[in-house]
Amino acid sequence: MDSTILISAALNGLLVGGIYTLVASGLTLIYGVLHIINFAHGSLLMMGMFGVYYLLIKLRLDPYISMLIMVPAMYAIGYVLYKGLIGRFSSGKDENILLITLGLSIVLENLALMFFKGDTRTITVGYSDTMVELGPLLFSLPKVISFFIAMLLCALLGLYIKKSNTGKAIRAVAKERMGARLVGIDVDRIFAISYGIGVATLGAAACLLMPIFYVSPYTGHVFVLVAFTVVVLGGMGSFLGAVVGGLIVGLTESFGGLFLGESLGQIGISLIFILILLFRPQGLFGARG
């Protein structure tokens, strides 16, 4: 096989993997702090993508500009969801909260089906078909832009968690709930903020995905397994893990498509997910727990 094709597949995989990283960073943050598995992650992303779609159709807002609206809006949605629904039940068995988020995803998905029907929608912007040349290789411009913004946002998020006061409180709560409460941190507020930030990353991811992907009420299904794979691959709760995991999953998908064809090629993600859970459940970077 021509090496150009291989390199091009690898780089394209990495570009998409960068966005997966962003989607998964929200999931891993929510897991790391709240210790809950947010099964509604995919459907919340789907909802965000419909938001981006309608901002473009109704207000002619460029998807990248929409980020200024989508990120705070999704943060608010996440915060309210936590306060109104998830927080009330997150203390019980972990299966229960998994079932609550499953219920939430069923409701969101079918609401989308009611209002938007089952059709698949894509958007076209001026630069949709613009290509970036790199020697003999060609890349779609929106993919390149989305990749760099995703990486930038991941870095900003990491910095925020590391340096800001709220970030420090989040890390304290993630490490030791009781201790955090004892030093005067409002743990419940930190939970809501963390869930809000986790959902806000989906708002950003929705803006980055819309120019290169499609949306339908079932889009959430596509991403929920991808996001979980990235997270278990990197280790639940690990940020660095999410970055590496996202890139690996992107590469897997790209090479799977190249070597196994479009249909069978998708098997790589579920296969990685199964193998990691069976043989290295702590992930590549997680500590054994």
Partner 1 sequence: MRRTPEPIAWTGHVLILAVACIFPFVFPSPFMVNFGVLALFYAFIGQSWNIAGGFAGQLSFGHVVFFGAGAYASTILQVRFGVNPWIGLPVSAVAGGLVGWLIGYLSFRAGLRGSYFALITLAFAEMLRIIANSVEITGGGLGLLIPAKPSVANFQFPERVGFYFLILVLVTVSIAIAIWLKHSRFGAQLAAIRENEDAARALGINVFSEKLKILILSGALGGIGGCFFSQYFLYIDPIIVFGVDKSVEMLLVSMIGGAGTVYGPLIGAVLLAAISDTARVVTNIQGLSLVIYGGLLILIIAFLPNGLIDLIQRLTKRRPK
Extract the tokens encoding 196: 């809000």
Residue closer to partner 1, measured from CB, 70 or 231: 231
Q: How far is the CB of 30 from partner 1 (least distance, A)?
A: 13
Residue closer to partner 1, measured from CB, 118 or 135: 118
Residue closer to partner 1, measured from CB, 50 or 147: 50
Residue closer to partner 1, measured from CB, 89 or 127: 89
**Number of alpha carbons in the 13 Å side-chain half-sphere of residue 140:** 17
Footprint on this chain of partner 1 (rule: CB under 8 A) = 37, 39, 85, 88-89, 93-96, 98-100, 102-107, 109-114, 117-118, 217, 221, 225, 228, 260-261, 263-264, 266-267, 270-271, 273-274, 277-279, 281
Residue closer to partner 1, measured from CB, 35 or 171: 35
Contact between 97 and 37 (Cβ < 8 Å): yes
Q: How far is the CB of 227 from partner 1 (least distance, A)?
A: 11
Q: How far is the CB of 233 from partner 1 (least distance, A)?
A: 12
The gap from C-alpha 96 to its chain's centroid, in whole angstroms, comes to 22
Q: How far is the CB of 215 from partner 1 (least distance, A)?
A: 16
Q: How far is CA 34 from CA 94, 111, 159, 170, 188, in A?
A: 11, 27, 20, 10, 10
Residue closer to partner 1, measured from CB, 73 or 85: 85
Per DSSP, the three-state class of 217 is coil
Extract the tokens encoding 169: 């409180």
Residues 6 or more apart in contact with residue 128 via CB below 8 angstroms? 142, 211
Q: How far is the CB of 270 from partner 1 (least distance, A)?
A: 4
In DSSP notation, 5-57 reads HHHHHHHHHHHHHHHHHHHHHHHHHHHHHH----TTHHHHHHHHHHHHHHHHH
Instruction: Say how far apart CA 33 and CA 36 lie, in whole Å.
Output: 8
Helices 239-264, 219-234: inter-axial angle, 10-degree rounding: 130
Q: How far is the CB of 2 from partner 1 (least distance, A)?
A: 24
